[in-house]
Chains A and B, each alone.
Chain A
Amino acid sequence: MPARRAPSRRSRDSVRSLVDGLLAGDKRAAGKLISLIEDDEPEAMDVLARVHPHTGHAHIVGFTGPPGVGKSSLINRLVRAYRARGKKVGVVAVDPTSPYTGGAVLGDRIRMADTGVDPGVFIRSMATRGHAGGLALATFDAVRVLDALGMDLIFVETVGAGQSEVEIATRAHTTVVVEMPLTGDAVQTMKAGIMEIGDVYVVNKVDLGNEDVLVANLKFQLEPRDGWTPPVVRTAALEGRGIDELADVLEKHRAHLGSSGILLRRELARAKQEILENAQRLMAQRVQGLSRLGATFERLARQVADRRLDAHTAAQRLFDPAATRQRRS
């Protein structure tokens, strides 16, 4: 593929030629398209509309679990295992944005340094940019871009902040929860949230020993759901132990999803959620537009500040000025 001559300003890049490049396998185009979406540029909607018909091929696997448990190292090993099986692999790795400065240090790539240059691999680091839930707002739009780039598998790594980062489970086909030994007693495995969302559980760092208790506690808590009992896989990512077993389990889960019709059901549920989220975003933008309208907003604010109106009623009137007039007359 010939090198594309990139214009110096991103805004001048034609969306169409970038998407053509993406579909032809151009990584530069893929990188730029993800940025357009992430920065919420005006072209982003056009990009997503053009990309969407070319998605649906990839198996999307999410990885979550506490920080430092070995998610990046595990993904690095899995990428290599799947490359050996002839699959192309994309990775979207999310790290936190500072709530104070808006800056971020994205370090997941360090663990994946030896796989980044493989032509069949694409790794993108992403900052949360204020989005809660362990992902960034644009994470799954980036996944779509990588899907259209022709990746067979896409691994999504959450920020791994803790026990309630469960958004990944509503988006990925397969959710992997990564734990390590010596991080808590049996009650930790009984807690709601992260312990309920896994399709596969990994006990990593078994080279440290003491993993039997955790494996037993996990197995005790895991129950069949949709005809699938989440297996517990033991790995030592740095040594490469248990990686092929994990890859086998992921493929088994993918096959299970396809054969049982769950995949279609999940795709539908995901589509519904995404439509609602986008509708909410549009609504939020409309509200911000309303607040900029001035006169009505200013008047309502004064009434709330003067205790003549409460903020809930004011919000309703912001949407329905007719109600405002009615009340005033």
Chain B
Amino acid sequence: MAKKIRVLIAKPGLDGHDRGAKVVARALRDAGMEVIYTGLRQTPEDIVEAAIQEDVDAIGLSCLSGAHMTLFPEVVKLLKKRGAGDIVIAGGGIIPEEDVQRLKKAGIKEVFGPGTPLRDIVQFFETAAKGG
């Protein structure tokens, strides 16, 4: 059996807007991936623990509360602490351009803003799972 791509889609923070996360989860499913969706209001600890137990190749973080500069790098830090720094992380949401650069420096591989075509996101995770 071929190796399946496993992706965790997670909503850190306190906003209740998960339509985007669900649309992405559905697109990855339709691209043949196994998507674990953990629901709203997750702490970075919740997300890292789920990523480790589910042994995912990548994590997609969605945040619309504005707290991405705190929450996203925290996930990177905790993953590294658990010896899971090889898990690729992408972010999405309403994220200003100047924050995008800082997030990338903090270890977020890619940031997808509103209007990103789903095929770009699918392609990103396919490449990420191959270790690219």
Interface residues, chain A, with chain B CB atoms under 8 Å away? 3-9, 27-28, 30-32, 34-35, 38-41, 97-98, 101-107, 109-110, 113, 116-117, 122-125, 127, 129
Q: Is B71 an interface residue (CB 8 A)?
A: no
Which residues of B have CB within 8 Å of A102?
4, 32
Q: Using an 8 Å CB-CB cutoff, how does the interface string of B16-58 with A read, 1 for contact, 0 for none?
A: 0000000001101111111111110011011001101111000
Contacts A106-B36, A106-B37, A127-B4; A27 near B29 (Cβ below 8 A)? no
Greatest chain A CB density within 10 A among B1, B25, B53 is at B53
CB neighbours of B55 from chain A (8 A): 31-32, 34-35
Q: Which 3 A-B pairs have the closest CB atoms?
A: A31-B55, A110-B39, A103-B29
Chain A proximity of B116: nearest CB distance (Å) = 19
Q: Smallest Cβ distance from A170 to chain B, in angstroms?
A: 23
Q: Is the CB of A105 within 8 A of B83?
A: no
Contact of B83 (CB < 8 Å), options: A3, A39, A106:
A3
Instruction: Decide if B46 touches A113 in the complex (CB within 8 Å).
Output: yes
State which residues 61-98 of B face A: CB under 8 Å.
81-86
Query: Nearest CB to that of B85 among chain A residues?
Result: A6
When A105-B29, A116-B49 are in contact, do A28 and B38 touch as well, CB less than 8 Å? no
Across-interface contacts of B105 in A (CB, < 8 A): none
Interchain CA distance A4-B79 in the complex, whole Å:
12
- Are A31 and B39 touching (Cβ within 8 A)? no
Q: In the complex, which residues of chain A have a beta carbon less than 8 angstroms from the beta carbon of B30?
A: 98, 101, 103
In the complex, the answer to whether A3 meets B82 with C-beta atoms within 8 Å is yes
Q: What's the Cα separation between A6 and B85 when bound, in Å? A: 8
A72 to B87, alpha carbons, bound, how many Å?
A: 27
Check A31/B52 contact, CB under 8 A, given A3-B83, A116-B46, A127-B4. yes
A-B contact count (CB 8 A): 100
Q: A262 CA to B30 CA in the complex, in Å? A: 45
Q: A6-B83, A98-B29 are in contact. Are A104 and B34 (CB under 8 A)?
A: yes
Which residues of B are found within 8 Å of A30, using beta-carbon distances?
53
Choose from A32, A34, A106, A129 the contact partner of B35 (Cβ within 8 Å): A106
Contacts of A31 in B (CB 8 A): 52-55
Chain B residues contacting A106 (CB-CB under 8 Å) are 34-37
Chain B residues positioned under 8 Å from A125 (CB to CB): 34, 36, 54
Output the nearest chain B residue to A40 by Cβ-Cβ distance: B1
Instruction: Give the residues in chain B near A113, CB-CB below 8 Å.
Output: 38-39, 42, 46
Taking CB atoms, residues of chain B closer than 8 Å to A35 are 6, 55
Asked whether A8 lies within 8 Å of B131 as measured between CB atoms, the reply is yes
Among B1, B2, B30, the one with the most A-chain Cβ atoms within 10 Å of its Cβ is B1
Q: What separation, in Å, do the CA atoms of A56 and B33 have in the docked complex?
A: 33
Measured CB to CB, the nearest residue on chain A to B26 is A105
CA distance A101 to B122 in the complex (A): 14
- Of A8, A38, A109, the residue contacting B38 (CB under 8 A) is A109
- Minimal beta-carbon separation of B110 from chain A (angstroms): 18
Report the nearest B residue to A122, measured CB to CB: B53
Neighbouring A residues of B86 by C-beta, 8 Å:
6-8
Chain A residues positioned under 8 Å from B42 (CB to CB): 113
Q: In the assembled complex, how far is the CB of residue A291 from the closest CB belonging to chain B, in whole angstroms?
A: 18
18 contacts between A and B (CB under 8 A): A3-B83, A6-B84, A8-B131, A28-B84, A31-B52, A31-B54, A98-B29, A101-B29, A102-B4, A105-B25, A105-B29, A105-B37, A113-B38, A113-B42, A116-B49, A122-B53, A125-B34, A129-B1
